[in-house]
Structure 1
């Protein structure tokens, strides 16, 4: 059983219920401004524009501009604008968010404004409440079930299965410049007895898989490669796979035997944001139970707020809080310390091999 299709009207009704209480009337200083939100593209952008932004604009009497890009793209923009920020809210993967915190790009949340912080699970609470996780996801394997069945290929259960010669020219690998590529490297490292503390086995494993790659994607959204037949497998996120499946494409997400990696999407107020007060309210809006439920329904994000109830069929498709406990926790301090060197090595050994 698949979740019932959601119309814009259904989502609007859901968000109207929480938006009135989540956002008070705008202050005079905020009213004429435009809240700028920088976040993920693809299914995330679609969901936010359809089911989050319209009602927030209506209840707050403001305008919201959404700028799509990967987490690394967003942080690069924040760094470039550090002297005069133009972005108010940043949606960033947890690992890259740690880098942004260290660079002083993000501001602490105000618990008086973000009252829903108290209901967020521990996994999604961040040090000093500089940002907060608003959805749970996982990095694993995505594959075209129809292609695999027609060609007698068994379902991939581990990362090494993507090295199958029958996938030559049919695999899209994510670049290490975005989270899914980094996840692939760390999954491969574990296979060889390594980890983020010992990454050499990861490069050895990725080299074997990369031989099948038709390209290395930097956008974090490989849906077009699947739709156009250029890819039949990739390392990707569960929510994005479910969004593609919802459109009728024969794709499935697999939690690899080596262990899927947790991926927490964080929402952050930019340090010295032009509309800081409004940005705090936007963060609180994303943590409303109704918002959490609506985002799960619209783009399969696992809730980070306690007590959110989902339809059983939907709950089976998202990364629930029970499953999150089984995901591998990563040492982001070590990862971020070495990421630049890993990127250089990846460019030399993987993408130019």
Structure 2
């Protein structure tokens, strides 16, 4: 074969290879990456096992998961305000209200987030900026085995946390997280106070602090129970049930004064790189299949009214009109306007020795 023919053939082969490479590269570019910032622990595990692969397959996308508490996530999107890198955030309702007030979140598009039409009113934001997708409550947790061995009755009131027999055996959430704010609010309501008059709450919390080994800032007090350091706490229903599901003898109590609702919310970040895809993900989270998973595996009561749960799951979560009507809804606009003041006071007067 002549030299010039060899050169032509080699050139043609290189051209074909180059075209193939550019087609592959172009295919890769078409696959978007959605960046999700959400809770860690069992949430992250179940999302990555079931929900995220399903969303990726249905939409030909890649989801990047950034783990963090609500406070961590709020700090991240604040820092990125001028150049957002995160598309969707999972936040507790308190930090979500803060994010909204800071102008960090985008309105939901009802033409894409069609499941908004199927939600309980309590889950909706009046401006459609973010939405609640799961309900839990903050109440009391106790080690049933320890209580039985000591002949103790289960706690029934928020005020029981001040019982001297619990001295050195209580762990409480810090006011830095939502459970801590709820505990302070309920200590006030249980003693004649209100969200406008928190003095009774601060006085009762000073009493409770005498029994407390620490005020935990992580929102996950499970290790204190597992290691035997604590036998009672104020904590979220889903967290308690998750630990119970692992075989640990922990029980959850809704106190006689009631339990505040804690809504897990999902929101689109304002000016995020993938707005339409982010809206699709919010709708996906509100879909019946996803809502059933959150209820069965993570003990979040469904926000979608169309969701049907089997009897066993339904008995463990906030489910249905009647149960949702009992929830104490926190006015986060009022709380967040006072939160800095309450936090400073709690740090000085309540959590100072811990």
Q: How far is the alpha carbon of 1:50 from its aligned partner? A: 2.2
Q: Which residue of 1 aligns with 2:348?
A: 348
Q: Distance in 2 between matches of 1:30 and 1:274?
A: 14
- Asked if structure 2 preserves the Cα contact closer than 8 Å seen for 1:88 and 1:270, the reply is yes
> Residues 279, 30 of structure 1: CA spacing in aligned structure 2 closer, same or farther, 3 A cutoff?
farther
The yes-or-no answer on 1:117 pairing with 2:127 is no
The yes-or-no answer on 1:323 pairing with 2:336 is no
Q: How far is the alpha carbon of 1:28 from its aligned partner? A: 7.7
> Residues 345, 290 of structure 1: CA spacing in aligned structure 2 closer, same or farther, 3 A cutoff?
same
The yes-or-no answer on 1:339 pairing with 2:325 is no
Q: Which residue of 2 aligns with 1:79?
A: 78
Task: Write out per-residue CA displacement over residues 220-248 of structure 1, whole angstroms, 9 at most, x where no aligned residue.
Answer: 11122222222211111111111111111
- Asked if structure 2 preserves the Cα contact closer than 8 Å seen for 1:30 and 1:62, the reply is no
Equivalent residue pairs, number: 327
SS at match of 1:351: coil
> Residues 31, 217 of structure 1: CA spacing in aligned structure 2 closer, same or farther, 3 A cutoff?
farther
Q: Distance in 1 between matches of 2:224 and 2:48?
A: 23
Higher Rg of the two aligned structures: 2
- Asked if structure 2 preserves the Cα contact closer than 8 Å seen for 1:173 and 1:213, the reply is yes
- Asked if structure 2 preserves the Cα contact closer than 8 Å seen for 1:43 and 1:240, the reply is no
Q: Distance in 2 between matches of 1:30 and 1:76?
A: 30
Q: Which residue of 1 aligns with 2:297?
A: 298
Runs of 4+ in 1 over 4 A off after TM superposition: 27-31
- Asked if structure 2 preserves the Cα contact closer than 8 Å seen for 1:70 and 1:178, the reply is no
Q: Which residue of 2 aligns with 1:309?
A: 308
Task: Write out per-residue CA displacement over residues 84-107 of structure 1, whole angstroms, 9 at most, x where no aligned residue.
Answer: 111111111112211111110000
Q: How far is the alpha carbon of 1:30 from its aligned partner? A: 7.9
Q: Distance in 2 between matches of 1:29 and 1:103?
A: 35
SS at match of 1:82: coil
Task: Write out per-residue CA displacement over residues 57-84 of structure 1, whole angstroms, 9 at most, x where no aligned residue.
Answer: 2222222222222212211111111011
Q: Which residue of 2 aligns with 1:258?
A: 257
Q: Which residue of 1 aligns with 2:223?
A: 224
For normalisation by structure 1, the TM-score amounts to 0.89
For normalisation by structure 2, the TM-score amounts to 0.89
The yes-or-no answer on 1:105 pairing with 2:104 is yes
- Structure 1's unaligned 5+ residue stretches are 1-26
Q: Which residue of 2 aligns with 1:189?
A: 188
- Structure 2's unaligned 5+ residue stretches are 1-25
Q: Which residue of 2 aligns with 1:284?
A: 283
The yes-or-no answer on 1:164 pairing with 2:163 is yes
SS at match of 2:44: helix
Q: Distance in 2 between matches of 1:63 and 1:220?
A: 29
Q: Distance in 2 between matches of 1:300 and 1:64?
A: 24
RMSD over aligned Cα atoms: 1.6
Q: Distance in 1 between matches of 2:116 and 2:29?
A: 23
